[in-house]
Amino acid sequence: MSDVVIRMKSFFIKHKLQIICSDDNDDNQIIRIRRIHEKEYVPAISPDFDDHGRIDDAETRREKIEK
């Protein structure tokens, strides 16, 4: 597993990635790849927030649209 991770890191050297693998002797072989954002991350679909900074539920959003 560590050889695979080393190869991936060398291949994706231009990208900001964090690549972690499980132990070579572990029963579950897992590779975790995480993208590192340089700026603050903004999701494609951002939730609606109320006046107190809490996320509005679907019913509250419908009420706002109806008004």
Q: Are 17 and 33 in contact (CB under 8 A)?
A: yes
Domain that holds residue 27: 1-38
Residue type for position 34: R
Instruction: Classify residue 59: in a domain, yes or no.
Output: no
Q: pLDDT tens, 6-20?
A: 888 888 888 888 888
Is 20 a domain residue?
yes
Q: Is 5 part of any domain?
A: yes
Structurally, the chain folds into a number of domains equal to 1
Q: Is residue 7 part of a domain?
A: yes
Asked if residue 4 is part of any domain, the answer here is: yes
38-62 per-position pLDDT tens digit: 776 665 565 667 677 777 676 777 7
Does any domain span residue 48?
Answer: no
Assigned domain for 26 exists: yes
The pTM for the full model equals: 0.48
Reduced to 3 states (helix: H, G, I; strand: E, B; else coil), residue 47 is coil
Which phi and psi (to 5°) does residue 64 adopt? -65, -40
